[in-house]
Amino acid sequence: MSEKCFSCVDCGVMNCVKRSGAYPEFCPTAALTQEEIDEVTDIYLKNRTNRKVAVAAAEIEGEFYGKYTRVEEIIEFAKRIGAKKIGIATCIGLLEESRIFARILRLNGFEVYGVSCKSGSVNKTTVGVDPKYTCVTGPVMCNPILQAKVLNKEKVDLNVIVGLCVGHDSLFIKYAKGLTTSLITKDRVLGHNPVAALYQSRAYYKKLLLAPVGEEIDYSKISVGNIK
């Protein structure tokens, strides 16, 4: 096994926020030169869209921290960047949630165009999916590339993802031309609240800390005290 590579997820210091102590040896902030930092800062300063988005996001965080829901934050963000038309890239299984979201957006003065993941109605086998994987979820594949192209054609100012599957969301973001944010991240088991698996990783979902996903675990040898 190769030597472990430490990064921000292994840090307990977080001096990049406090600026009052030493940085760990593996800290990427400490490894940066001032030239590299300035180069990235210039990307914000010299690109009008980047600066507008960065400022709007920071203002919303500062003004509504712990006060606004994600729905309210998206509305406020859209207003501050001057978005008029919002595209909703929705899972067909979350159409009702998307309808409610669209109604809220329209009440707040936005034009809305939504497109579901099954648009185009292409069979999964067409792109090489084994038919055995169509038994539970049906033969029609999710089509995030088409969703992106439709919303690109509609010239929306901001895309909002509502529950696209893992990987399908990646393809949507890859092909969407405009800015994209997420309202709902799909988790069928946890009611679309994926962070619950992390909160419960020392209890009901402790298996996530014990072995790679899909690997069998001998629970007879496990106690909560073993998990660190």
Structure tokens that stand for 173 in this block: 């973001």
pLDDT tier at 125 (50, 70, 90 boundaries)? very high
pLDDT tier at 208 (50, 70, 90 boundaries)? low
pLDDT tier at 171 (50, 70, 90 boundaries)? very high
pLDDT digit string (tens) for 172-183?
A: 999 999 999 999
pLDDT digit string (tens) for 49-108?
A: 999 999 999 999 999 999 999 999 999 999 999 999 999 999 999 999 999 999 999 999
For the ranges 47-56, 123-132, 192-201, which has the lowest average pLDDT? 192-201
Mean pLDDT estimate for the chain:
91
For the ranges 59-68, 141-150, 173-182, 191-200, which has the lowest average pLDDT? 191-200
User: Residue range 147-155: average pLDDT?
Assistant: 98
Choose between 12 and 1: higher pLDDT: 12
**pLDDT at residue number 79:** 97
pTM for the model: 0.87
State which amino acid sits at residue 177: K
Inform me whether the pLDDT recorded for 1 exceeds 50. no
Q: Give the whole-number percent of the chain exceeding pLDDT 90.
A: 79
Inform me whether the pLDDT recorded for 151 exceeds 60. yes
Structure tokens that stand for 25 in this block: 């040896």
